[in-house]
Amino acid sequence: MLDPFGRTISYLRVSVTDRCDFRCVYCMSEDMSFLPKAEILTLEELDRLCGAFITAGVRKIRITGGEPLVRRGVMALFESLGARLGQGLDELTVTTNASQLARHATALHAAGVRRVNVSLDTLDPARFTAITRWGRLEQTLDGIFAARAAGLAVKINAVALKGENEGEFDALLAWCGEHGFDLCLIETMPMGDIGGDRTTQYLPLSLVRADLRRRWTLRESAYRTGGPARYFDVLETGRRIGFITPMTHNFCESCNRVRLTCTGTLYMCLGQEDAADLRRVLRAGADEAALQAAIAEAIARKPKGHDFIIDRRASRPAVARHMSVTGG
Ligand code: SAM
Ligand code: SF4
């Protein structure tokens, strides 16, 4: 699958629910309203669409949300997609807050998942609850260690939040080194109304990296996961640290992905509103050829890049939908 700018599209991120058992301050408002069930694709519909994308050339699928592991019956989707590994699909992964990971880690591994991304912004129990509003650190840590015990490689994702976890990156880096996890720091993106002022949360990672370099030896690495992160080897720990900098560094040139929401809406760019309604095509009784045509038509509209800018005076987000809709 080639887009109009010659980029190969081989990576599909699938949000299987907009719901979550957390209310992270940068992601959701406390009183989020969620979609009615009729609008959400069934697990069979999600599997059919994923299959069509694999036929079209997708090699890697990441299941995300909302919190993917709170969707009832979601393991059936992991199993059906896992059966496609080696049959066109190279990798099946998941991004999770790990609250339910202790229950599902073994089954995820059995389904063919080998790597999981876990969001963990702090190791301080009180701050963890302050950031996630509804989460408990202990439960997330149990999930992380269950994943490791099940043989899953764990990458920790932390959103860098000014005045919140900015004093904790040394501790996170050391903890990840101790337990054998890579760490990825992410800049906050202006997506969705979160019921507060977002610009006060924004912390440029260029500053964080310069500060970390005073105490850690970071050597630029050629390692890539097919995503937008730039990696460095941390010589003191033997692990890696990645930086995802949508705001300070434009990562769009090498974009290889599209995003499917739980309602079957395909977003060709995280930072743009244009989308394709694949649920309508699917529920109109489309055969495989019609699905392929709808996917090809959407990919032909993939834009060159996002327009995120932090406007310090703007009170509205750059993109109205929440990250939990497109899954990050
Ligand atoms: N619930 C799962 C989780 O938290 O890992 C998966 C979905 S969550 C939307 C995916 C990722 O997006 C998480 O790592 C989260 O920290 C990140 N995220 C959410 N809102 C964000 C924002 N406004 N800016 C940057 N990252 C954000
Ligand atoms: Fe839920 Fe993930 Fe959003 Fe936090 S970042 S509220 S865990 S979807």
> Distance from the CA of 62 to the center of ligand 2, in angstroms?
15
Handedness of CA 107, 41, 264, 98 (dihedral sign): negative
Q: 71 — phi, psi (to 5°)?
A: -75, 130
β-strand 265-267 against 257-260: which pairing, if any? antiparallel
Q: Domain ranges in the chain? A: 11-326
Could you tell me which residues are beta bridge partners of residue 2? 8
> Distance from the CA of 118 to the center of ligand 2, in angstroms?
11
How does 211-240 read in b/e, with b if 16+ C-beta sit within 10 Å?
Answer: ebeeebebeeeeeebebbbbbbbbeebebb
Shortest-distance Cα residue to atom 4 of ligand 2: 24
Question: To which H or E segment does residue 196 belong?
Answer: none
Ranges of the chain whose pLDDT falls below 70: 199, 247-251, 307-318, 327-328
Average pLDDT taken over every residue of the chain:
92
> Distance from the CA of 97 to the center of ligand 1, in angstroms?
9
Question: pLDDT tens digits for 174-225?
Answer: 999 999 999 999 998 877 777 777 767 889 999 999 999 999 999 999 998 7
Question: To which H or E segment does residue 291 belong?
Answer: helix 288-299
Q: Which amino acid is at 265?
A: T
Q: Is 273 helix (H, G, I), strand (E, B) or coil?
A: coil
Q: What is the DSSP letter of 70?
A: G
Q: What's the angle, vertex CA 6, arms to CA 2 and CA 223, rounded to 5? A: 95
Residue-level pLDDT at 119: 98
End-to-end CA distance of the chain: 22
Residue-level pLDDT at 308: 64
311 burial class (0-12, 13-18, 19+ CB within 10 angstroms)?
exposed
Q: Which ligand is nearest to the CA of 25?
A: 2
Contact 91, 113 (CB under 8 A): no
Q: With pLDDT > 90 as the criterion, what percentage of the chain qualifies?
A: 79
| Whether the CB of 20 sits within 6 Å of ligand 1 | yes
Q: Distance between CA atoms of 248 and 244, rounded to whole angstroms? A: 9
Residue-level pLDDT at 190: 77
Residue-level pLDDT at 224: 85
Q: Is 98 helix (H, G, I), strand (E, B) or coil?
A: coil
Q: Distance between CA atoms of 328 and 326, rounded to whole angstroms? A: 6
User: Class of the 11-326 domain?
Assistant: alpha beta
Alpha-helical segments (H) within 112-226: 125-132, 137-149, 169-179, 205-212
Q: Which amino acid is at 4?
A: P
| Whether the CB of 68 sits within 6 Å of ligand 2 | no
Residue-level pLDDT at 151: 98
How does 269-294 read in b/e, with b if 16+ C-beta sit within 10 Å?
Answer: bbbbeebbebbebbeeebeeeebeeb
| Whether the CB of 194 sits within 6 Å of ligand 2 | no
β-strand 153-160 against 115-119: which pairing, if any? parallel
